[in-house]
């Protein structure tokens, strides 16, 4: 495949009635996907200045997918924003991104005053269904930015990772080749589109004539509904974080006997523990189970390994796998490559490495560089590369963590926590179990206040913090202290607190 947009449109010509998206209540064909995205592209071409990106606001609706494709067909990168994002965070994203337009698949929060034009859900539906005059379009191609995904930033301002058409193409071609995906399979679409894990469902499905099958948050949050729902979906390709499958495995009947359609499991985004991997092998003996690894900055994932009983007896941590063909991994100690087999920082070099963070030259320069003219990225992950090319993961070298698959910079939470009116100083640390973060613990020095009980204070702090950060970034436990420990050079000693909560 040479071009993502052309590949999806070709499928619409060859098999117009094939199902591109099927939710509980709605079914959309490839033909509709092409029609809607074309109508939107013609509209954007006439109404929106070139260059600037387009924000697409909603959850897992089909209109989100049609908006993504409409944007890139008209030459604009798109930025997915989940509708439950706190207003302050949306503001920060808009300040960085300076989008040309907002396509609101779900109603845009009225509290945000804007100069940027917003298409309401009704306007958008009208555009999709309108007869627009076909015009020559210049879709996003090569190194032009296809999408921008915002991730947690250490300064409290989210970083926009810019992924080009070339980056996405490199990822999608690999994903369609290395995992046994065949034409017309049914893919679980569970991760919000603002997380790059969702890309592992969207483009492999749409470029292989497959069907996206969304499982919305309202279902996930109601386990009874979720467990009734899952077997009915006839899913063939499962894409999720290990944390999500852990929830599903709570249901005893979630196995190959009751859900025989499942053939391929792809996990990414956080440690796949041996316990989860073992349970999956027992429950789904006829499926293929893959661990994959990669940061958003290198387009979703770039290593993979099939989990087998033998693998689990050989390694005490599930390896993150073999590197995709067009990419290279180097292990660095600072700026120097280490000797073979030694531990150090994982550096990714290849065509799926992003051009950097949007409008953020400082952070871009700190993490991205070139090796022999090829883009390279400092992952901040510690790892070890075996002689046979197998990559092993050994944690982080900084204070980024994964909680239930969500990527969080602890400094991002500290920053927003210290802005809370009751807080004088704060540091957040992770509590681990089996190499996975179970809980975030906040150590807080508070200002004088009138709360009688600590839980009342905690409730008030959590409420105020929730205005600035995503719900998953709110610490589960608060410990109130007189002062925070300092290192010899006067910085807050986070490592000491990490040892304290994990001892």
Give residues in contact with ligand AMP (CB under 6 A): 151, 196, 268-272, 291, 293, 295-296, 320, 379, 381, 393, 396, 402, 407
Residue 197 CA from chain centroid, whole number? 4
Closest CA to 159 of 394, 377, 323: 377
Least CB distance from residue 271 to ligand AMP, whole Å? Answer: 4
| In the complex, least distance from residue 378 CB atom to ligand AMP, rounded to whole angstroms | 10
Give backbone dihedrals phi and psi of 109, rounded to 5 degrees, phi first: -60, 120
210 in a known ligand binding site: no
User: Does the annotation place 158 within a ligand binding site?
Assistant: no
Distance CA 328, CA 187 (A): 29
Residue among 199 and 497 whose Cβ is closer to ligand AMP: 199
Which of residues 186 and 349 has its CB atom nearest to ligand AMP in the complex? 349
Answer yes or no: is 293 a known binding residue: yes
Least CB distance to ligand AMP at residue 151 (A): 6
CA–CA separation, 182 vs 160, rounded Å? Answer: 33
User: What would the two tokens of residue 392 be?
Assistant: 């092993």
One DSSP character per residue, 481-493 reads -SS--B-TTSSB-
User: Which lies closer to ligand AMP via its Cβ, residue 19 or residue 300?
Assistant: 300
Minimum CB separation from ligand AMP for residue 210, in Å? 22
Q: Report, in Å, the least distance between residue 325 CB and ligand AMP.
A: 19
Nearer to ligand AMP, 204 or 295 (CB): 295
Rounded distance between C-alpha atoms, residue 217 and residue 190, angstroms: 8
Of 261 and 273, the one with the shorter C-beta distance to ligand AMP is 273
Distance CA 501, CA 458 (A): 18
Judge whether 140 is annotated as a binding position: no
Exposure string (b/e) for 406-428, b if CB count within 10 Å is 16 or more?
Answer: bbbbbbbbbbbbeebebbebbbb
Cβ 321 to ligand AMP, closest distance in Å?
A: 8
Distance CA 397, CA 495 (A): 12
Is position 493 annotated in a ligand binding site? no
Is 389 labelled as part of a ligand binding site?
no
Query: Do 185 and 236 form a contact (C-beta atoms < 8 A)?
Result: yes
Residue 172 marked as a ligand binder: no
Give the residue with the Cβ less far from ligand AMP, 43 or 267.
Answer: 267
The binding site for ATP comprises 151-152, 291-296, 381, 393-396, 491
The binding site for D-alanine comprises 196, 300, 491
The binding site comprises 151-152, 196, 291-296, 300, 381, 393-396, 491
């Amino acid at each position: 495949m040479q071009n993502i947009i052309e590949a999806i449109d070709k499928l619409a010509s060859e098999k117009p009635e094939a199902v591109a998206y099927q939710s509980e209540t709605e079914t959309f064909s490839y033909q509709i996907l092409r029609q809607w995205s074309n109508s939107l592209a013609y509209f954007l071409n006439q109404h929106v200045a070139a260059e600037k990106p387009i924000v697409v606001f909603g959850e897992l609706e089909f209109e989100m997918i049609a908006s993504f494709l409409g944007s890139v067909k008209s030459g604009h990168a798109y930025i997915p924003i989940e509708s439950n994002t706190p207003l302050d965070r949306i503001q920060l994203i808009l300040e960085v991104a300076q989008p040309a337009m907002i396509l609101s698949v779900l109603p845009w929060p009225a509290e945000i005053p804007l100069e940027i034009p917003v298409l309401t859900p009704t306007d958008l539906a009208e555009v999709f269904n309108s007869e627009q005059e076909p015009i020559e379009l210049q879709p996003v191609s090569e190194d032009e930015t296809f999408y921008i995904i915002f991730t947690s930033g250490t300064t409290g301002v989210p970083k926009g990772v810019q992924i080009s058409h070339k980056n996405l193409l490199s990822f999608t071609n690999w994903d369609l080749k290395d995992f046994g995906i065949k034409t017309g399979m049914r893919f679980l679409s569970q991760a919000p589109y603002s997380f790059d894990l969702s890309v592992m469902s969207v483009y492999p499905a749409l470029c292989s004539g497959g069907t996206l099958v969304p499982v919305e948050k309202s279902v996930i949050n109601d386990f009874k509904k979720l467990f009734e729902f899952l077997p009915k979906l006839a899913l063939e390709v499962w894409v999720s974080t290990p944390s999500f499958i852990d929830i599903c495995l709570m249901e005893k009947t979630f196995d190959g006997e009751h859900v025989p359609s499942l053939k391929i499991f792809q996990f990414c985004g956080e440690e796949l523990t041996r316990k989860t991997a073992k349970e999956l092998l027992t429950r789904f003996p006829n499926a293929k189970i893959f661990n994959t690894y990669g940061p958003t900055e290198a387009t979703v994932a770039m290593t993979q390994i099939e989990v087998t009983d033998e693998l689990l007896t050989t390694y005490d941590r599930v390896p993150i796998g073999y590197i995709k063909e067009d990419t290279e991994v180097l292990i660095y100690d600072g700026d120097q490559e280490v000797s073979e087999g030694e531990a150090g920082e994982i550096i990714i070099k290849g065509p799926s490495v992003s051009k950097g963070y949007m409008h953020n030259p400082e952070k871009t320069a700190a993490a991205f560089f070139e090796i022999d003219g090829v883009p390279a990225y400092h992952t901040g992950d510690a790892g070890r590369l075996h002689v046979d090319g197998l990559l092993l993961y050994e944690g982080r070298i900084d204070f980024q963590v994964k909680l239930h698959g969500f990527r969080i910079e602890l400094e991002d939470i500290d920053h927003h926590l210290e802005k809370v009116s009751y807080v004088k100083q704060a540091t957040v640390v992770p509590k681990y179990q089996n190499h996975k973060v179970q809980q975030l613990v906040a150590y807080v020095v508070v200002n004088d206040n009138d709360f009688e009980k600590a839980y009342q204070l905690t409730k008030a702090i959590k409420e105020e913090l929730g205005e600035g950060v995503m719900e998953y970034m709110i610490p589960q436990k608060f410990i109130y202290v007189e002062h925070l420990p300092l290192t010899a050079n006067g910085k807050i000693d986070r490592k000491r607190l990490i040892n304290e909560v994990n001892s």
